[in-house]
Chain A
């Protein structure tokens, strides 16, 4: 299985901050990497697919970069509604796997 390691596991931030979350794959996954946001008690929400493509309706404050084994999710000008847990997910190989999550707290 492809292992995805996110860093940090949690972070404290303030409204207006710029954040970067990293996801590292255990092998080359090209651009087969997606990012999700999950708020407490809700289902995950797709933010970025294919490493860099912004899902329709998602704020352009979110952006993704990377290919191969190293990927980043950046949130510009953090808003109060952005405090949540973020997951990366790979679809290069079966089984599809997720990172362990990064919790963004106040």
Chain B
């Protein structure tokens, strides 16, 4: 059974960098891609980006200039860095495993971390 456990700072000041890490326990780390998704009260669920085992990334264009997702395959971990945060980045951040269906190759998020509340406030 796969489990995702995430951690990182929960309180930031404006202009600081948000850093979160997600560790994957169980399952095949290299067979999947790994994603970050956030949820704020006003905006619902927002996909931030994802990375595969070889380090290839896809980012949401709305955040691309501030966002970096990286992977540490030997440790079965992946991380998110979001620079120059503002109050608008206040949200619960989730890491998730991105799988694909065998037919049609449809991507979906089948396993999620517990979520980390990140608050940006001066």
Q: How far is B107's CA from A31's CA once the two chains are assembled, in angstroms?
A: 11
Cα distance, A71 to B110, chains bound together (Å): 20
B104 at interface, CB cutoff 8 A: yes
* Interface assignment of B45: CB less than 8 Å from any CB of chain A: yes
Whether A49 contacts B101 by the Cβ 8 Å rule is yes
**Given that A43-B112, A44-B112, A94-B58 are known contacts, is A32 also in contact with B45, CB under 8 Å in the complex?**
no
A42, A96, A97, A101 interface centre (most CB from chain B within 10 Å): A96
CB distance from B26 to the nearest CB of A (A): 15
Which chain B residues in 42-68 approach chain A with CB under 8 Å? 44-47, 58, 60-62
Q: Is B25 an interface residue (CB 8 A)?
A: no
Interface centre among A32, A43, A89 (most CB of B within 10 A): A43
User: Does the CB pair A34–B113 fall under 8 Å?
Assistant: no
A95 touching B61, Cβ below 8 Å: yes
B78 within 8 A of A: no
Contact present for A43 and B61 (CB under 8 Å): no
**Chain B window 88-116, contacts with chain A (Cβ cutoff 8 Å), 1 for yes, 0 for no:** 00000010100001011011111011110
Docked complex: A79-106 residues within 8 A CB-CB of B: 87, 89, 91, 94-101
Secondary structure class of chain A's binding surface, majority of residues: loop
B residues apposed to A, CB below 8 Å:
44-47, 58, 60-62, 94, 96, 101, 103-104, 106-110, 112-115
**Is A53 at the interface (CB under 8 A from chain B)?**
yes
A91–B103 CA distance with the chains assembled, in angstroms: 14
Contact A49 B108 (CB under 8 A): yes
Given contacts A98-B44, A98-B46, A98-B47, contact A34 B60 (CB under 8 A): no
Residue among B61, B104, B109 making CB contact with A89, cutoff 8 Å: B109
Which of A31, A55, A99 interacts with B106 by CB under 8 Å? A31
Name the residue in B46, B47, B60, B94 with the highest tally of chain A Cβ atoms < 10 Å from its Cβ.
B47
Given contacts A43-B94, A50-B108, 14 further A-B contacts (CB under 8 A): A31-B104, A31-B106, A36-B109, A42-B115, A44-B45, A49-B108, A50-B101, A50-B106, A53-B101, A87-B45, A91-B108, A95-B60, A95-B61, A95-B62
